[in-house]
C-alpha cells in the first residue's frame, strides 16, 4: 500500500503551506484581542518578509491599513489563507480562495467533527470534499497555526514572546497546547525549534505529510510528534520509513492505551494486544521512537540532537559523588542497562590516574578532589571511551549558570576531545535544574555532547533509544510470496455461512497449511467414530467439543484430558454432548475432537490481532491458563523473518526458559521461530480478513512444537 503515498506530492503540499509567497488573513476585525489581529502582529513581529493582506468582505480598513473585500481586489493572487471565520463560512471561502489561485490554508476555526452533532459532522464532510476538489494544502481545522523559521513565517495567535531561532528540531501535533509546551521546554533547555505545526483534526494534511516534508530538511535532526490518532496508517508508516532512511529520528508521544478494547476481545491475543502495544510494534518497526510522556520526549531530543546514537546498552560513568554513583547503579537495572566491570587494562589505568579515596570501578567515583587537574579528567574520559566494553559514557555535571567556573573549562576541553568520537557522551545531573541565558549559550557552543537531567528518567530514555538504535540496523523485510493452499482454505472459510469464529478443527487446518504442527487428531460425530480415531492415534487421548459458537470450551468443561481407554472415551463423548445440550442459546455441537495427548513441554502462546488503527500484529509469550493474570508477552509487526522472530522471543522473560537449565532440557527454539514466521505469513496473506488468531497453548518440546489449541476469528459478519 506504500505506493499510494507519494513523498514528492506531500513535500510540495507542505512546502506550499510553510513557504508561501503571501499571507491572507481571512476574518480580519477590530474586535479587541481577536486572533486575526494577533496573527497579523506576529507575522510582522517575527519578520515575515512577504505581503500580508487583511481580508473581510465587510471592512474597507482594519488595524490602520487597507482591508480587502474580495480576492479579486488583492494586488496579487492569494497564496496562503489563514482562516478565522465562523465554521459555516469556511468551505465557501476556501473554494473562492482556490479559484483565485491560493495553494494552501490554515483553518483555525473549529466545529468540523470534534463534536458528534450532525451539523458538525456535515461540515467536516463538506470540508473534506472541498479539499479533494480544490487540491488545497490544508492545516487543521481546529488548530492554532504554524511557524517556519526558514521562511520567517509565524501564523500563530500566541501573544507570548517566542524564541524564533533556527534549530535541529521540528515539532508537530494534534494539540496546539501540547506542541507549544514541548517547544517552550526545549527552548528552556537551549534546543531551538525550527518549525512547529499544530495539525488539528488533520482533515487535509496529516502527520505523514509533515514527517515526509521534514525528512528532506537537512538542518532537522529530530521530528517530534504528539499523536492522538493515526488517520492514514499506510501513509504514516511510509513516511516513517522515509525518515529512517534519511537518518532522521521521529520521536512521539501517543495516546491510546485504552483497556476498553481489550475487555471486549474474544481471543486472548486481542485482550493482550492493547492499542499502545500494537502501535509500538508496527510504528517502531517502521522507525518511530515512542516515549511515555512529554518529559521523556525532551530528554530524548537532548540525546539525539547533541550526540550520536549508541551502538549498545553498556554504560560507563564518571561521577564526583558517591550518591550519584549509587543512583546510577540503582536505576540502571530497572532500565535494562548494564554497568560492566572495567577491563583489567582500564582498571589499572584508572588506578594510576586517580588518587586515594576514589572508587575505581564502573561507575567510577573520582570525587572532585581526586580530579586534581583538567588533564587527569580528560585522561579518565579518554580511557573509558577507549574501553571496548563501553558503548555510552555518562559524566556527572550540570551546565554552569555563569562564567568562570572550572566545570566550564572541563566541558569545553571534553568537547574538543570528542571531535570524531564514535560513542555518545552524556552529561547527566542528579536532579532537574533550570538554565540561565548564559547556560543556554554555553550549551549551544558544546556541539559534541548531550545534557540530560535526573537519573531515573534519563536512564529510561537511554534504554529506549538503545533499543530503537538496534532496530534501525535491521534490514527491511520483503513480503512473503502468498501461500496458495492456505489462501484457498481461508477463502473457503470466509465463504462458508456461519459465525465469524472458526471452530478448533477448522482453525488448525489453516495453521497446518502454514507449517504450524498440530497433534494427531480428528473430529468424531459419534462415540463409535471417536473410538476408531483413538484406536488409530493410541491412548491416552484428549476429547474436546467442536463448536464455532463456543470459543472458550475449557471454561464450561468442554475439554477432557487423560482419557486412558475406550469406555472412558465414550463417557467423555456423552458428557460433552450433555454439557452443550444444557447451554442457553442452543449452540451447535459440530462434533468431538479426539486428539493425541501431548505430555511435558513448555506452554507458550502465539497469536495475532488486527488493531483497528495499526493493522495486524504478532504476539508471543508465556502461555497457559494464567496468561491474562500474569502476562509475559511481546508484539511485533507482521510479517516476520528470522531476525525479527528472534528479537520478538528475546523481548519476553520466557526466552530464558528455552535453553537447558537446572536439569531441564533445552527447547527447540528453531521450531518456535518457524511457527512464528508461519503465523506471520498467514496474517500477511489474510490482510484484513482475519481479526484475531489465538494459539494457546503452543507446546514447545525438545524437538518440535505443537499447537494444542487454536482459535481464529474472521473479519466477517456473524450470521444467526
Q: Which of 272, 283, 279, 259 is nearest to 606 (CA)?
A: 272
Q: Residues near 379 by Cβ (< 8 Å), separated by ≥ 6?
A: 353
Between CA 431 and CA 452 the distance in angstroms is 10
Do 616 and 528 touch, CB atoms closer than 8 A?
Answer: no
> For the segment 673-700, what is each residue's pLDDT rounded down to a tens digit?
999 999 999 999 998 889 999 999 999 9
The radius of gyration computed from the CA coordinates of the chain, to the nearest angstrom, equals 31
On the question of pLDDT at 261 being above 70, the answer is no
Pair 420, 389: CB distance under 8 Å: no
How many other β-carbons are positioned within 10 Å of the β-carbon of residue 331?
A: 17
Residue 687 is predicted with a pLDDT of 86
Distance CA 305, CA 189 (A): 12
Least confident of 72-81, 298-307, 376-385: 376-385
Question: Does residue 274 have a pLDDT over 60?
Answer: no
Count other C-beta atoms under 10 Å from residue 279's C-beta.
Answer: 25
**Residue 526, C-alpha cell as written in the block:** 459419534
Give, in order, the Cα–Cα distances in Å from 464 to each of 115, 221, 472: 36, 18, 13
Q: What is the pLDDT of residue 226?
A: 95
What pairs with residue 226 in β-bridges? 173, 253
Per-residue model confidence (pLDDT) at position 464: 95
pLDDT (mean) for 647-662:
92
Angstrom distances, CA of residue 123 to CA of 84, 109, 119, 135: 15, 12, 6, 18
Q: Say if CB 182 and CB 169 are below 8 A apart.
A: no
Give me the mean pLDDT over the 622-632 stretch.
Answer: 73
Between CA 360 and CA 383 the distance in angstroms is 13
C-beta atoms surrounding 426 within 10 Å: 22
Distances (CA, A) of 689 to 253, 613, 615, 616, 659: 30, 15, 11, 10, 37
Does residue 320 surpass a pLDDT of 90? no
Q: What is the pLDDT of residue 716?
A: 77
Q: What is the largest CA-CA distance in the chain?
A: 100
Tell me how far apart the alpha carbons of residues 592 and 544 are, in angstroms, rounded to a whole number.
5
pTM for the structure as a whole: 0.89
The mean pLDDT value for 178-190 works out to 95
Instruction: Determine the average pLDDT of the residues in 416-427.
Output: 91
pLDDT higher than threshold 70 for residue 438: yes
149 vs 153, 179, 596, 681, CA distance in Å?
6, 16, 69, 46
Q: Angle at the Cα of 209 (from 204 to 215), degrees rounded to 5?
A: 160
Q: 200: which 3 cell numbers?
A: 488539528
Helix (H, G, I), strand (E, B) or coil at 271: helix
Contact by Cβ (8 Å): 239, 10: yes
Which of 137-141, 356-360, 438-442 shows the lowest mean pLDDT across its residues? 356-360
Please name the helix (run of DSSP H) or strand (run of DSSP E) that holds residue 393, with its range, or none: strand 392-396
Cβ density class 441-460: b for 16+ within 10 Å, e for less: ebbeebebbbbbbbbebbbb
Check whether 33 has a pLDDT greater than 60. yes
Q: What does the pLDDT average to over 122-146?
A: 96
Report pLDDT for 283.
95
Query: What is the grid cell recorded at 574?
Result: 456423552
Average pLDDT of 595-617? 91
Whole-number Å distance between alpha carbons of 240 and 287: 6
Beta strand pairing call for 711-714 and 690-700: antiparallel
Of residues 597, 624, 608, the one with CA closest to residue 511: 608
> Is the Cβ–Cβ distance between 150 and 19 less than 8 Å?
yes
**Does the structure show a pLDDT above 50 at 267?**
no
Q: What angle, 0 to 180 degrees and rounded to 10, lies between the N-to-C axes of helices 669-686 and 642-650?
A: 110
**Model confidence at 563: pLDDT above 50:** yes
Could you tell me the end-to-end alpha-carbon distance of the chain, in angstroms, rounded to an integer?
Answer: 35
CB 187 within 8 A of CB 193: yes
- Predicted confidence at residue 720, as pLDDT, reads 37
What pLDDT does residue 628 have?
65
- Which pLDDT score, from 0 to 100, does residue 271 have? 43
Distance CA 541, CA 556 (A): 19
The grid coordinates listed for 17 are 503551506
Contacting residues for 208 by C-beta, under 8 A, at least 6 apart: 5, 10, 232, 235, 236, 238, 239
Percent of the chain with pLDDT over 70: 94
For each of the domains in the chain, give its residue range(s) and CATH number, in order of start: 2-255 (3.40.50.720), 308-472 (3.40.50.261), 520-596 (3.30.1490.20), 602-714 (3.30.470.20)
pLDDT averaged over every residue in the chain: 90
Give the count of beta carbons closer than 10 Å to the beta carbon of residue 112: 25
Residues contacting residue 632 through CB under 8 Å, at least 6 positions apart: 621, 622, 652, 653, 654
- In sign, the C-alpha dihedral spanning 26, 27, 31, 34 is negative
Strands 615-622 and 690-700: unpaired
Band (94; pLDDT cuts 50, 70, 90) = very high
pLDDT-derived band at 473 (thresholds 50, 70, 90) equals confident
Residues 239 and 212: beta-carbon distance below 8 Å: yes
| pLDDT > 60? residue 273 | no
Q: Provide the β-strand partners of residue 545.
A: 592
Q: Return the closest-CA partner of residue 24 out of 130, 101, 126.
A: 101
Query: Count of CB atoms within 10 A of residue 567's CB?
Result: 10
> CA 401, 406, 408: angle at the middle one, nearest 5?
50
What pLDDT, on a 0 to 100 scale, did the predictor assign at position 10?
Answer: 95
pLDDT for residue 114: 81
With a pLDDT cut of 90, the percent of the chain lying above it is 70
pLDDT tens digits for range 483-504: 899 889 988 888 888 778 888 8
Q: Give the pLDDT band of residue 444 (cuts 50, 70, 90).
A: very high
Confidence of residue 626 (pLDDT cuts 50, 70, 90): low
Answer with the residue of higher pLDDT: 717 or 52.
52
Helix H, strand E, coil C: the string for 638-688 is CCCCHHHHHHHHHCCHHHHHCCCECCECCCCHHHHHHHHHHHHHHHHHHCC
- Distance between CA atoms of 127 and 164, rounded to whole angstroms? 32
Q: Does 449 score more than 60 pLDDT?
A: yes
- Please compute the mean of the pLDDT values over residues 650-672 and round it to a whole number: 92
Q: How far apart, in whole angstroms, are the C-alpha atoms of residue 209 and residue 235?
A: 8
pLDDT at 66 over 90: yes
Q: Name, of 30-39, 210-219, 556-565, the range with top average pLDDT.
A: 210-219
Average pLDDT over residues 217-239: 94
Q: What are phi and psi of 572, to 5 degrees?
A: -65, -40
The CB density around residue 536, as the number of other CB atoms within 10 Å, is 10
Mean pLDDT of 636-649: 94
Q: What's the confidence (pLDDT) of residue 478?
A: 80
Q: What is the pLDDT of residue 369?
A: 52
Cell numbers for 79:
497564496
Q: What average pLDDT does the segment 275-298 reach? A: 93
**For residue 536, what are the contacts with CB-CB under 8 A and spacing of at least 6?**
none
Q: Which has the closest alpha carbon to 590: 548, 530, 557, 532?
A: 548
Amino acid at each position: 500500500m506504500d505506493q499510494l503515498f507519494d513523498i514528492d506530492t506531500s513535500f510540495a503540499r507542505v512546502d506550499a503551506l510553510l513557504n508561501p509567497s503571501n499571507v491572507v488573513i481571512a476574518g480580519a476585525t477590530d474586535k479587541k484581542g481577536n486572533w486575526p489581529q494577533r496573527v497579523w502582529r506576529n507575522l510582522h513581529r517575527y519578520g515575515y518578509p512577504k505581503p500580508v493582506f487583511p481580508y473581510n468582505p465587510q471592512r474597507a480598513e482594519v488595524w490602520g491599513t487597507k482591508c480587502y473585500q474580495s480576492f479579486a481586489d488583492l494586488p496579487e493572487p492569494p497564496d496562503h489563507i489563514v482562516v478565522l471565520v465562523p465554521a459555516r463560512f469556511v468551505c465557501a471561502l476556501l473554494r473562492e480562495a482556490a479559484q483565485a489561485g491560493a495553494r494552501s490554508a490554515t483553518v483555525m476555526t473549529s466545529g468540523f467533527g470534534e463534536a458528534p452533532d450532525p451539523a458538525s459532522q456535515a461540515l467536516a464532510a463538506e470540508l473534506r470534499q472541498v479539499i479533494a476538489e480544490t487540491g488545497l494544502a490544508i492545516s487543521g481545522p481546529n488548530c492554532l497555526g504554524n511557524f517556519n523559521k526558514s521562511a520567517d513565517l509565524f501564523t500563530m495567535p500566541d501573544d507570548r514572546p517566542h524564541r524564533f531561532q533556527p534549530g535541529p528540531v521540528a515539532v508537530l501535533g494534534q494539540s496546539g497546547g501540547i506542541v507549544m509546551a514541548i517547544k517552550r521546554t526545549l527552548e528552556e533547555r537551549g534546543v531551538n525549534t525550527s518549525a512547529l505545526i499544530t495539525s488539528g483534526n488533520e482533515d487535509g494534511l496529516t502527520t505523514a505529510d509533515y514527517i515526509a516534508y521534514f525528512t528532506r530538511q537537512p538542518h532537522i535532526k529530530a521530528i517530534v510528534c504528539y499523536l492522538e490518532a493515526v488517520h492514514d496508517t499506510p501513509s504514516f508508516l511510509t513516511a516513517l520509513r522515509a525518515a529512517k532512511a534519511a537518518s532522521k529520528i521521529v520521536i512521539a508521544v501517543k495516546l491510546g492505551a485504552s483497556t476498553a478494547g481489550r475487555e471486549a476481545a474474544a481471543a486472548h491475543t486481542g485482550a493482550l494486544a492493547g492499542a499502545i502495544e500494537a502501535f509500538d510494534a508496527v510504528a517502531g518497526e517502521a522507525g518511530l521512537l515512542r516515549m511515555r510522556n512529554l518529559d521523556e520526549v525532551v530528554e530524548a531530543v537532548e540525546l539525539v540532537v547533541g550526540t550520536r546514537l549508541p551502538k549498545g546498552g553498556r554504560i560507563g560513568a564518571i561521577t564526583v559523588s558517591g550518591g550519584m554513583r549509587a543512583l546510577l547503579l540503582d536505576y540502571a537495572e530497572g532500565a535494562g542497562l548494564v554497568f560492566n566491570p572495567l577491563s583489567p587494562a582500564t582498571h589499572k589505568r584508572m588506578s594510576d590516574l586517580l588518587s586515594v579515596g576514589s572508587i575505581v570501578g564502573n561507575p567510577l567515583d573520582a570525587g572532585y578532589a581526586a580530579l586534581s587537574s583538567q588533564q587527569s579528567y580528560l585522561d579518565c574520559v579518554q580511557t573509558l571511551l577507549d574501553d571496548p566494553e563501553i558503548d555510552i559514557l555518562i559524566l556527572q555535571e550540570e551546565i554552569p549558570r555563569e562564567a568562570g567556573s572550572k566545570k566550564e573549562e572541563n566541558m569545553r576541553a571534553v568537547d574538543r576531545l570528542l571531535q570524531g568520537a564514535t560513542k555518545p557522551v552524556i552529561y547527566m545531573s542528579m536532579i532537574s535544574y533550570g538554565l540561565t541565558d548564559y547556560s543556554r549559550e554555553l550549551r549551544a557552543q558544546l556541539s559534541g555532547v548531550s545534557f540530560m537531567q535526573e537519573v531515573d528518567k534519563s536512564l529510561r530514555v537511554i534504554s529506549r533509544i538503545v533499543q530503537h538504535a538496534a532496530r534501525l540496523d535491521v534490514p527491511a523485510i520483503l513480503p512473503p510470496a502468498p501461500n496458495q493452499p492456505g489462501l484457498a482454505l481461508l477463502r473457503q472459510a470466509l465463504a462458508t455461512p456461519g459465525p465469524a469464529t472458526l471452530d478448533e478443527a477448522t482453525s488448525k487446518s489453516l495453521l497446518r497449511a502454514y507449517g504450524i504442527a498440530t497433534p494427531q487428531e480428528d473430529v468424531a460425530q459419534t462415540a463409535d467414530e471417536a473410538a476408531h480415531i483413538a484406536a488409530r492415534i493410541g491412548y491416552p487421548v484428549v476429547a474436546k467439543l467442536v463448536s464455532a459458537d463456543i470459543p472458550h470450551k475449557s471454561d464450561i468443561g468442554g475439554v477432557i484430558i487423560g482419557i486412558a481407554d475406550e469406555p472412558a472415551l465414550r463417557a467423555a463423548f456423552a458428557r460433552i454432548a450433555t454439557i452443550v445440550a444444557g447451554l442457553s442459546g442452543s449452540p451447535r455441537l459440530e462434533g468431538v475432537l479426539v486428539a493425541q495427548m501431548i505430555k511435558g513441554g513448555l506452554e507458550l502462546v502465539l497469536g495475532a490481532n488486527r488493531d483497528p488503527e495499526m493493522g495486524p500484529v504478532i504476539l508471543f509469550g508465556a502461555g497457559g491458563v494464567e496468561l491474562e493474570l500474569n502476562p509475559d508477552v511481546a508484539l511485533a509487526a507482521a510479517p516476520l523473518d528470522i531476525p525479527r522472530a528472534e528479537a520478538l522471543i528475546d523481548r519476553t522473560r520466557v526466552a530464558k526458559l528455552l535453553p537447558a537449565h537446572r536439569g531441564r532440557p533445552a527447547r527447540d527454539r528453531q521450531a518456535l521461530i518457524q511457527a512464528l514466521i508461519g503465523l506471520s505469513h498467514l496474517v500477511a496473506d489474510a490482510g484484513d480478513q482475519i481479526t484475531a488468531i489465538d494459539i494457546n497453548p503452543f507446546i514447545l518440546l525438545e524437538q518440535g512444537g505443537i499447537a494444542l489449541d487454536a482459535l481464529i476469528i474472521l473479519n466477517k459478519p456473524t450470521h444467526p
